[in-house]
Amino acid sequence: MKENITIGIEGLVGAGKTSLCRELLNMIPNSIILHGGNLYRGIVYALMTSNIDFKQMMSNPETMKNLDIKELMERLKVEIKIEDKQSVVYVSGKEINEDNLQSDETSLNVSKIAKEADNSKFYAFGASLIDMYKKKYNLIISGRDLMRIYPKLDYHFFITADLETRVDRKLGQYENANREEIKNHIIQRDKLQEQSGFYDRFDKTIDIDVTDCKTPEESAKKVLAYIKL
């Protein structure tokens, strides 16, 4: 029996990684998506909406350095479930919707916390999830730092697009959004991601530029061309 494969999808802010993954789901048989980034976002969102003094915590370098993301996940009752072939994030038994997970505020705080916190136990947990689901499915895994979480990935893609294209795509996600605010937000997050090592490439990494792709399907097909099913 052929072993299931693991496909890691990372990339620049706003390049269209999530939409691309959902298109791959339709192209790769017996597959599911693990939205690893959304799990991390769920933890940060739960922290932002908890009774913990979030601003004080963020302003204390020592607290941030000792912040154990896996312990925080358990304390805030954040869990992940597979529904309709994709991972969904729950906090205290309530599903957290995409708008809250993908908001500008959540996104920026995720970048700041991921840069400073201790992610080691969370990464180990992520690797165990991948091992568990790989027994049954081909895995499309979106997130950050995937090669450090799971060096055994069969494929590792880094999705890129030029800045103006990424701004256009983000503008399409929000009503009444200001172009300059979106652009500055992307630049700020790019800087944090770069400083955190989340834009690092590895020997296995394949860069895919989707600037000229008109649809997520076109982007997914560029990735699929490298995958042996």
Domains and CATH numbers, the chain: 6-224 (3.40.50.300)
Listing DSSP states for 110-162 in one string gives: HHHHHHHSB-HHHHHHHHHHHHHHHTTSEEEEESSSHHHH-TT-SEEEEEE--
Hey, what are 176's tokens?
């009444």
pLDDT at 2 exceeding the cut of 90: no
Over residues 72-81, the mean pLDDT reads: 95
Residue corresponding to tokens 């800045």? 163
Could you report the per-residue pLDDT of 186-226, keeping only the tens digit for each? 999 999 999 999 999 999 999 999 999 999 999 999 999 99
Per-residue burial over 33-45, b if 16 or more Cβ lie within 10 Å, else e, is: bbbbbbbbbbbbb
Write the CB contacts of 55 (distance below 8 Å, at least 6 apart in sequence): none
Could you report the per-residue pLDDT of 14-66, keeping only the tens digit for each? 999 999 999 999 999 999 999 999 999 999 999 999 988 988 998 998 999 89
Amino acid of residue 10: E
Model's pTM, two decimal places? 0.92
Over residues 102-116, the mean pLDDT reads: 91
User: In whole angstroms, what is the distance from residue 183 CA to residue 186 CA?
Assistant: 5
Cα–Cα distances (Å) from 108 to 48, 90, 105, 138, in that order, read 12, 20, 5, 31
Residue corresponding to tokens 């076109």? 218
